[in-house]
Chain A
Amino acid sequence: MRTPPGGRALAAVLTLAAGVSAGRAASHREAPLMTLDPAADISDVYAFVGYDAANRARPLADRRVTLVMNVVPGQEPSSGPNYFAFDDDVLYALHVDNDRDGRAEDVVYEFRFATETTAPDQFVATLGGGPLPPVDSPEAAGLARKQRMTVTELRDCRPTRRGLRCDQRLPLFDGAAVPTAPSNVGPRTMPAYDDLAGQAVLTDPGTGIRVFAGQRAETFAIDLGAVFDTLNLRVENAVPLPGARPPLPVMTDAEDANDAVSPFGVNAFSGFNVNTIAIEVPIRRLTRDGGGPTADTGTLGVYASTSRRRVTVRRGAPSVDPTRPPKALLKAMREYQQVSRMGNPLVNELIIPIGRKDLWNATDPADEAAFLDAYRRLDVASALSAVSGVPVPAPPREDVVRLLLKYADQDPSPTAGPFADLLRLDTTVPPTAPADIERLGPLAHAADGTPTPDPAGFPNGRRPNDDVTDLVVRIAGGQAFVDNRVGDGVGVSENGITPDFPFLPAPFDGRNRRHRDPGE
Chain B
Amino acid sequence: MNRAPTIPRRPGRAARLACAAGCLSAAAALAAAAPADRAVAAAAARTNARPGAAAAWVDLAAAFGRKARESGDPAYWRRAGAALDRATAVRPGDYAALRMRAVVLGGLHEFAAALAAAERAARVAPADPWNDATIFDAAIELGDYARAGAAAARLAARRPGLAAYARVGLLRGLHGDHAGALAVLELAVRAGTREDPESLAWALVHLGDERFAGGDRDGAAAAYARARALLPGYAPAAGGLARVEAAAGRLAPAIALYGEALASAPSPDVAGALGDLHAERGDAAAADDAYALADRLARLADAAGVSYGRPLVLFWADHGRPADALRLAEREARARDDVHTADALAWALHRAGRPRAAARAAHRALRLGTRDALLDYHAGAIAAALGRTRRAARHFRRALATNPWFDRRLAADARARLSARAAGAPRAGGRS
Residues of A within 8 A of B (CB): 1-2, 4-10, 12-40, 76, 78-82, 87-89, 123-124, 222, 224-225, 227-228, 230, 266, 268-269, 308-315, 318-319, 322-326, 329-330, 333, 337, 339, 348-349, 353-356, 358-359, 361-362, 515
Q: Within 8 Å CB of A348, what residues of B? A: 2
Q: Is the CB of A356 within 8 A of B127?
A: yes
Q: Is the CB of B130 within 8 A of A15?
A: yes
Minimum distance in angstroms from B243 CB to a CB of chain A: 7
Minimum distance in angstroms from A316 CB to a CB of chain B: 9
Q: Within 8 Å CB of A312, what residues of B? A: 153, 156, 168
7 new A-B contacts, CB < 8 A, other than A14-B133, A21-B205, A24-B370, are: A18-B137, A22-B243, A23-B209, A24-B372, A25-B374, A26-B311, A225-B5
Question: B245 interface residue, CB < 8 Å from A?
Answer: no
Q: Is the CB of A325 within 8 A of B180?
A: yes
Question: B389 interface residue, CB < 8 Å from A?
Answer: no
Question: B348 interface residue, CB < 8 Å from A?
Answer: no
Q: Is the CB of B199 within 8 A of A27?
A: no
Q: List 5 A-B contacts (CB under 8 A).
A: A5-B7, A15-B130, A32-B196, A268-B5, A325-B177
Q: Is the CB of A32 within 8 A of B69?
A: yes
Query: Count of chain B residues with Cβ under 8 Å from any Cβ of A?
Result: 107
Q: Within 8 Å CB of B9, what residues of A? A: 5-7, 76
Q: Is the CB of B1 within 8 A of A230?
A: yes
Minimum distance in angstroms from B153 CB to a CB of chain A: 4
Chain B residue, CB-CB nearest to A89: B190
Instruction: List residues of B (101-126) whose CB comes within 8 Å of A's CBs.
Output: 102-103, 106-107, 109, 124-125
Q: Is the CB of B3 within 8 A of A224?
A: yes
Partner of B107, one of A30, A313, A319: A30
Q: Is the CB of B134 within 8 A of A15?
A: yes
Q: Is the CB of A23 within 8 A of B102?
A: no
Q: Is the CB of A78 within 8 A of B16?
A: yes
Partner of B16, one of A26, A80, A266, A315: A80
Question: B202 interface residue, CB < 8 Å from A?
Answer: yes
Q: Within 8 Å CB of A358, what residues of B? A: 127-130, 158-159
Q: Is the CB of A339 within 8 A of B6?
A: no
Q: Which of B128, B157, B236, B343 has the most CB of A within 10 A?
A: B128
What CA separation (Å) do A324 and B177 show in the bound complex? 10
Partner of A15, one of B22, B102, B149, B212: B102
Partner of A38, one of B103, B157, B195, B209: B195
Q: Within 8 Å CB of B99, what residues of A? A: 15, 355
Partner of B165, one of A26, A87, A224, A311: A311
What CA separation (Å) do A461 and B62 show in the bound complex? 38
Chain A residue, CB-CB nearest to B114: A17
Partner of A228, one of B3, B168, B198: B3
Q: Is the CB of B372 within 8 A of A228?
A: no
Q: Is the CB of B163 within 8 A of A14?
A: yes
Chain A residue, CB-CB nearest to B125: A355
Q: Is the CB of B3 within 8 A of A222?
A: yes
Q: Is the CB of B173 within 8 A of A24?
A: yes
Given known A27-B311, A310-B156, contact A36–B196 (CB-CB < 8 A): yes
Given known A15-B133, A16-B133, A32-B198, contact A355–B183 (CB-CB < 8 A): no
Q: Is the CB of A28 within 8 A of B193?
A: no
Q: Within 8 Å CB of B27, what residues of A? A: 79-82
Minimum distance in angstroms from B228 CB to a CB of chain A: 15
Question: B227 interface residue, CB < 8 Å from A?
Answer: no
Question: B425 interface residue, CB < 8 Å from A?
Answer: no
What CA separation (Å) do A323 and B177 show in the bound complex? 9
What CA separation (Å) do A13 and B59 show in the bound complex? 12
Question: B260 interface residue, CB < 8 Å from A?
Answer: no
Minimum distance in angstroms from B204 CB to a CB of chain A: 12
Q: Within 8 Å CB of A78, what residues of B? A: 10, 16
What CA separation (Å) do A81 and B17 show in the bound complex? 10
Partner of A28, one of B2, B164, B198, B309: B309
Minimum distance in angstroms from B24 CB to a CB of chain A: 6
Question: B269 interface residue, CB < 8 Å from A?
Answer: yes
Partner of A356, one of B65, B128, B309: B128
What CA separation (Å) do A8 and B27 show in the bound complex? 19
Q: Within 8 Å CB of B424, what residues of A? A: none
Partner of B106, one of A17, A26, A313: A17
Q: Is the CB of B69 within 8 A of A31?
A: yes
Q: Within 8 Å CB of A17, what residues of B? A: 103, 106-107, 133-134, 137-138
Q: 9 nearest interchain CB pairs?
A: A355-B125, A225-B5, A6-B7, A359-B127, A17-B137, A14-B163, A36-B196, A25-B340, A228-B3
Minimum distance in angstroms from B42 CB to a CB of chain A: 10
What CA separation (Å) do A318 and B5 show in the bound complex? 50
Q: Within 8 Å CB of B236, what residues of A? A: 21, 29
Q: Is the CB of B69 within 8 A of A325?
A: no
Chain B residue, CB-CB nearest to A76: B10
Partner of B172, one of A37, A268, A315: A315
What CA separation (Å) do A268 and B209 show in the bound complex? 41
Q: Is the CB of A15 within 8 A of B160?
A: no
Instruction: List residues of B (185-199) whose CB comes within 8 Å of A's CBs.
Output: 187, 190-196, 198-199
Q: Within 8 Å CB of A32, what residues of B? A: 66, 69, 196, 198-199, 202
Q: Is the CB of A1 within 8 A of B2?
A: yes
Minimum distance in angstroms from A370 CB to a CB of chain B: 9
Given known A1-B2, A222-B3, A308-B191, contact A315–B196 (CB-CB < 8 A): no
Minimum distance in angstroms from B156 CB to a CB of chain A: 5
Q: Is the CB of B137 within 8 A of A268?
A: no
Q: Is the CB of A311 within 8 A of B168?
A: yes
Question: B267 interface residue, CB < 8 Å from A?
Answer: yes
Partner of B6, one of A6, A10, A38, A337: A6
Minimum distance in angstroms from B141 CB to a CB of chain A: 6
Chain A residue, CB-CB nearest to B190: A89
Q: Within 8 Å CB of B370, what residues of A? A: 24
Q: Within 8 Å CB of B269, what residues of A? A: 22, 26-27
